[in-house]
Amino acid sequence: MGKLQEFDITFANNKVVYGPGESISGTVKIRTGSPLQYKAIKVNCLGSCGISNKMNDSSWSLEEHYLNSMLSVADKGILAPGEHRFPFQFVLPAAIPTSFEGPFGKIAYCVRAAIDTPRFSKDYKAQRPFYVLNMLNLNEVPDIEQQSCAVTTKKFSYLLVKTGTLMLKTRSDQRGYVPGQLIRLSTEIHNKSGKDTGYVLASLVQMVTYRTKRPVVDRRTIAEVEGAGVKAGKHAEWKEQIIVPPLPQSGLSGCRLINIDYFIQVSLKSPEAVVVLPIFIGNIPVNLSPVGSIPTSPSSSLAPSATGVMPSAPPVEHDPDGELGAGGFTSEEIPTKSHSQQDPSASPVTMSPSAFSHAPGAALPPGRLPGATAPLFCLSTGATIPFFTEGDVNPIPTSCSLILPLEYSSCDYPQEPPPTYEESCSSVDSSFNSGQ
């Protein structure tokens, strides 16, 4: 290898994940086989975000920088044959975004070391990435512990001369979750028609917006649950749950170029009807209270609680003819046909013991104690999602069946973003009127 036999960067305690305001320290290790003359040995700590309109293109169209610190650990001299170590230390800014990597951009951090040699000699460089986790505390999001509800009504025609009315109503137990928690969904379908409906589908969807001059939206279906249809003239209820896999946090606070949103979409096929529940994915779970819990009895009503909590959605418009009411209907339970988070062989899903931190509402793997591992950290949104833990470990890609093979689609604006929660709720009246 010539004069330079080893040139490497190591972090103290092999730590790879840091928080804003933390100190990052380590050592530059150099081993030479013969004397090496140098002008300076420098270490840089860098952090930036870059985005592009083209997939997997590192020629960024827009960039923003969060960190650029330089330290000279040695000035002009000769490295004698043997091993040399140069310590370094940097303090990270108090407001920097979480690391992220996607097809149209990324937020990346690294430490670089360089040996500047005299003129006409070869310079030497080394680089080591590290990762930042800017924790999102869900308890700081207003009304995060309250139930979220959306409803839509649809009038439709079938067999050319017949008409029918359908109501689709969905509720989640709360509005914010951390990886490993369960999203508990309860859906009502009132089918006031003589035609059976198609299947009902609940999806956990991620939407990443890259704010280039012509913004790009990347939508991915993370998990899906499919239920059977509803018979003609029936009122049915469907109760299901989705496990939140390792996912980047909502928003990416501190970054102006990339934004992440999540929502639950419940849709009915034939007739087509859709409701959307925006949710937050964070790192510190919601402090659950009895008010925020969802009834578990199959016969429980989805009416707003009488405990004084404001309802999450407006009530359905008054229906004097009883067209949408469930009176006289036999309430049925909708069976689940398929679940992207269940093993096709019907054996229970097993999670990697290091995949999730313990959180209220999340089941602990066998032999797992709360707080036994470091906090979860997720970097990207690929078919396998890498996560990192503290200590002497390397990045570990997940390989469990919790993550649905992604439905990948991207498009440029103009594209309508998913409706807000309030818009979804207000669709009751507009949908009803449009069908008349």
- Residue 271: cis peptide before it, omega within 30 degrees of 0: yes
Kind and range of the H or E run holding 426:
helix 421-434
Report whether 240 contacts 185 (CB < 8 A): yes
CB neighbours of 16 closer than 8 A, spacing ≥ 6? 130, 131, 388, 390, 393, 394, 395
Q: Give the amino acid at 136.
A: L
Q: Give the strand pairing for 82-91 and 62-79.
A: unpaired
> What is 4-48 written as a DSSP string?
EEEEEEEEGGG--EE-TT-EEEEEEEEEESS-EEEEEEEEEEEEE
pLDDT at 379: 53
- CA 316 to chain CA centroid, Å, is 31
Burial class (CB in 10 A: 0-12, 13-18, 19+), 44: middle
Query: What is the residue extent of each domain of the chain?
Result: 4-132, 141-434
The CA distance from 220 to 45, in Å, is 33
User: Hey, what are 223's tokens?
Assistant: 């998990």
**Distance (Å, rounded) from C-alpha 432 to C-alpha 425?**
13
pLDDT at 146: 87
Burial grade of 39 (CB within 10 A; 0-12, 13-18, 19 or more): middle
DSSP 8-state symbol, 307: S
Spatial CB neighbours of 52, under 8 Å, sequence gap ≥ 6: 58, 59, 60, 61, 104, 105, 210, 212
Architecture of the domain whose range is 141-434: Sandwich (2.60)
CA distance linking residue 233 with residue 284, whole number of Å: 44
Give the long-range contacts of residues 158-162, CB within 8 A, separation 24 or more. Answer: 158/193, 158/194, 158/195, 159/195, 162/193, 162/194, 162/195
Half-sphere exposure of 150 (CA within 13 A, CB side): 23
What distance in Å separates the CA atoms of residue 15 and residue 13, rounded to the nearest whole number? 5
- Output the tens digit of pLDDT for each of the chain's 436 residues: 458 899 999 999 999 999 999 999 999 999 999 999 999 999 999 999 999 988 888 889 999 999 999 999 999 899 999 999 999 999 999 999 999 999 999 999 999 999 998 876 778 999 999 999 999 999 999 989 888 899 999 888 887 778 888 899 999 999 999 999 999 999 999 988 888 888 899 999 999 999 998 899 999 999 999 988 888 888 989 999 999 998 899 999 999 999 999 999 999 888 888 999 999 999 999 986 544 444 443 333 333 333 333 333 444 433 434 444 444 445 678 877 677 775 434 333 333 333 333 333 333 333 333 333 334 555 544 333 334 333 344 444 333 333 333 333 333 333 344 455 455 445 444 443 444 4
The rounded distance, in Å, linking the Cα atoms of 311 and 127 is: 53
> Same topology for domains 4-132 and 141-434, yes or no?
yes
pLDDT at 354: 33
Q: Distance from CA of residue 111 to its chain's centroid?
A: 27
Domain 4-132 has CATH 3.20.190.10: no
Check residue 423 and give its pLDDT.
53
pLDDT score of 232: 87
d(CA 172, CA 262): 14
